[in-house]
């Protein structure tokens, strides 16, 4: 936390999370790791959902060592597999008889090659959005239980400034079973504009995170649910995300080193997500991040409104119908 500019003050202002059950994906590094440790420190029961790996085992050992008195559970969940997500949701239900107060859909990958998951979807879209859509559907009854018992519950999604690039228009083909046929492996970074096919797929997945929030928010409001839908972005945070992209051929090493000079710490980057998860005043339909513009890379997480380029009937309905088709079932609120 040495270089974090805002996190210590932000942390001091967070409320107690005692009596809350928090489910969070992707806690082996980065913003998810910080968010899981933070809510554990605030007294929450925490269920971390990760795919099996040495990173996952080590991160859970670190979490339990840092918070020996906390109620912590590790649940295996590979977001590249719908079956794995369904099994994880069943395990969460078993471990959470009192409901789920916060579902943080945090995990993500960036600029991977044009490959299909075993389910046939783009690896980035399935990991970043479709599996989180399924997880949210499966856990909605538990979110409703918590909301009835304690007045509210929340779904916090994690988007990016990439939601704006380049077209601001969600395209159905990225949500269909077209994995491996979505433009190829070019990275196409020119003059700091990330517009090659690897990035188009990432951008679409991060636009889907925002569109999902908007669609969920409207549906929850229409049914007078006490469950809230919120979304965050971390600006540019120095996490494992970029390392994976470099390793997988999505960004050059030298370029990344220069680019990351503009980044903030993972703790500062986690403030938007933690605001959605914890802040007492956070409202459904709010976006938290270091600004709403395309250059909002660093700074305090402030709330702003969902944006018209995805918060519109056509985009919300496209997102919902394509996501339902992908998971093979309806998601009725
Ligand atoms: N860092 C930034 O500047 C930035 C900017 C905008 C948005 N974001 C968003 O912030 C979120 C968190 O990313 P981060 O920056 O903290 O990156 P990170 O350090 O790479 O963390 C990503 C997490 O997602 C997990 N994950 C990846 N694939 C998975 C799968 N198939 N199943 C389960 N978990 C999986 C990773 O676990 P493994 O160890 O298994 O890989 C890891 O725990 C992402 O949604 C990302 O798009 C980050």
What's the burial of 98, exposed, middle or buried (CB within 10 Å: 0-12/13-18/19+)?
middle
Closest atom of ligand 1 to CA, residue 243: 20
Q: Is 158's C-beta closer than 6 angstroms to any atom of ligand 1?
A: yes
What's the burial of 192, exposed, middle or buried (CB within 10 Å: 0-12/13-18/19+)?
exposed
What are the phi and psi torsion angles at 46 (to 5°)? -125, 130
Give, for 24, the enclosing helix (H) or strand (E): strand 21-25
Please give the full DSSP string across 34-56, using - where no structure is assigned: HHHHHHHHTT-EEEEEE-SSHHH
For residues 61 and 317, give the distance between their C-alpha atoms in angstroms, rounded to a whole number. 42
CB count within 10 Å of CB 193 equals: 11
Note the pLDDT of residue 257: 84
What the block records as the tokens of 113 is 């090659």
CB count within 10 Å of CB 162 equals: 21
Closest CA to 304 of 295, 294, 292: 292
C-alpha 127 – ligand 1 centre gap (Å) = 9
Instruction: Tell me, yes or no, if the pTM score tops 0.75.
Output: yes
C-alpha 257 – ligand 1 centre gap (Å) = 19
Q: Is 262 in contact with 295 (CB distance < 8 Å)? A: no
Note the pLDDT of residue 282: 98
Q: Is 100 in contact with 135 (CB distance < 8 Å)? A: no
C-alpha 104 – ligand 1 centre gap (Å) = 12
Closest atom of ligand 1 to CA, residue 202: 47
What's the burial of 314, exposed, middle or buried (CB within 10 Å: 0-12/13-18/19+)?
exposed
What are the phi and psi torsion angles at 203 (to 5°)? -60, -45
Among protein residues, the one whose CA lies closest to atom 16 of ligand 1: 30
Closest atom of ligand 1 to CA, residue 78: 32
Note the pLDDT of residue 261: 86
Q: Is 218 in contact with 274 (CB distance < 8 Å)? A: no
For residues 2 and 46, give the distance between their C-alpha atoms in angstroms, rounded to a whole number. 25
Choosing from 32, 107, 115, 235 the residue with most ligand 1 atoms within 8 A of its CB, the one to mutate for a pocket test is: 107
Q: Is 30's C-beta closer than 6 angstroms to any atom of ligand 1?
A: yes
Q: Is 105's C-beta closer than 6 angstroms to any atom of ligand 1?
A: no
Q: Show the CA angle centred on residue 211, arms to residues 210 and 212, nearest 5°.
A: 90
Q: Is 229 in contact with 105 (CB distance < 8 Å)? A: no
Dihedral (CA of 165, 168, 171, 175) sign: positive
C-alpha 241 – ligand 1 centre gap (Å) = 6
Q: Is 221's C-beta closer than 6 angstroms to any atom of ligand 1?
A: no
Q: Is 204's C-beta closer than 6 angstroms to any atom of ligand 1?
A: no
Please give the full DSSP string across 106-153, using - where no structure is assigned: -----S--S-B-TTSSBHHHIIIIIHHHHHHHHHHHHHHHHHHHHS-E
Q: Is 79's C-beta closer than 6 angstroms to any atom of ligand 1?
A: yes
* pLDDT tens track, the chain, 333 positions: 458 999 999 999 999 999 999 999 999 999 999 999 999 999 999 999 999 999 999 999 999 999 999 999 999 999 999 999 999 999 999 999 999 999 999 999 999 999 999 999 999 999 999 999 999 999 999 999 999 999 999 999 999 999 998 789 999 999 999 999 999 998 876 656 677 999 999 999 999 999 999 999 999 999 999 999 999 999 999 999 988 888 888 888 887 888 888 899 999 999 999 999 999 999 999 999 999 998 999 999 999 999 999 999 999 999 999 999 999 999 999
Q: How do beta strands 153-158 and 286-289 pair?
A: unpaired
DSSP 116: B
C-alpha 25 – ligand 1 centre gap (Å) = 9
| Residues assigned a catalytic role | 202
């Amino acid at each position: 936390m040495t270089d974090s500019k805002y996190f210590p003050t932000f942390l001091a202002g967070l409320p107690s999370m005692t009596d809350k059950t928090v489910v969070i994906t992707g806690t082996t590094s980065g913003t998810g790791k910080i968010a899981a440790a933070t809510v554990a420190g605030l007294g929450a029961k925490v269920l971390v959902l990760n795919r099996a790996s040495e990173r996952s085992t080590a991160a859970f050992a670190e979490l339990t060592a840092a918070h020996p008195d906390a109620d912590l559970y590790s649940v295996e969940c590979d977001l590249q597999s719908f079956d794995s997500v369904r099994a994880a949701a069943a395990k969460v239900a078993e471990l959470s008889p009192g409901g789920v107060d916060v579902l943080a859909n945090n995990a993500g990958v960036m600029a991977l090659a044009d490959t299909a998951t075993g389910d046939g979807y783009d690896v980035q879209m399935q990991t970043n959005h479709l599996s989180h859509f399924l997880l949210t559907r499966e856990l909605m009854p538990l979110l409703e239980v918590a909301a009835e018992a304690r007045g509210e519950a929340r779904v916090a999604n994690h988007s990016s400034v990439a939601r704006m690039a380049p077209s601001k228009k969600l395209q159905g083909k990225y949500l269909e079973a077209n994995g491996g046929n979505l433009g190829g492996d070019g990275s196409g970074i020119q003059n700091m504009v990330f517009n090659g096919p690897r990035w188009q797929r990432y951008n679409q997945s991060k636009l889907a995170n925002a569109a999902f929030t908007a669609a969920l928010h409207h549906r929850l409001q229409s049914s007078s649910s006490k469950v809230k839908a919120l979304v965050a972005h971390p600006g540019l945070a120095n996490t494992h995300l970029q390392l994976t992209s470099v390793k997988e051929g999505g960004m050059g090493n030298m370029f990344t080193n220069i680019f990351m000079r503009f980044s903030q710490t993972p703790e500062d980057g986690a403030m938007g997500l933690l605001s959605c998860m914890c802040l007492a005043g956070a409202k459904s339909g709010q976006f938290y991040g270091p600004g709403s513009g395309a250059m909002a890379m660093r700074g305090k997480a402030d709330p702003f409104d969902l944006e018209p380029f995805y918060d519109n009937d056509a985009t919300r309905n496209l997102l919902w119908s394509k996501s339902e088709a992908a998971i093979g079932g309806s998601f009725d609120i």
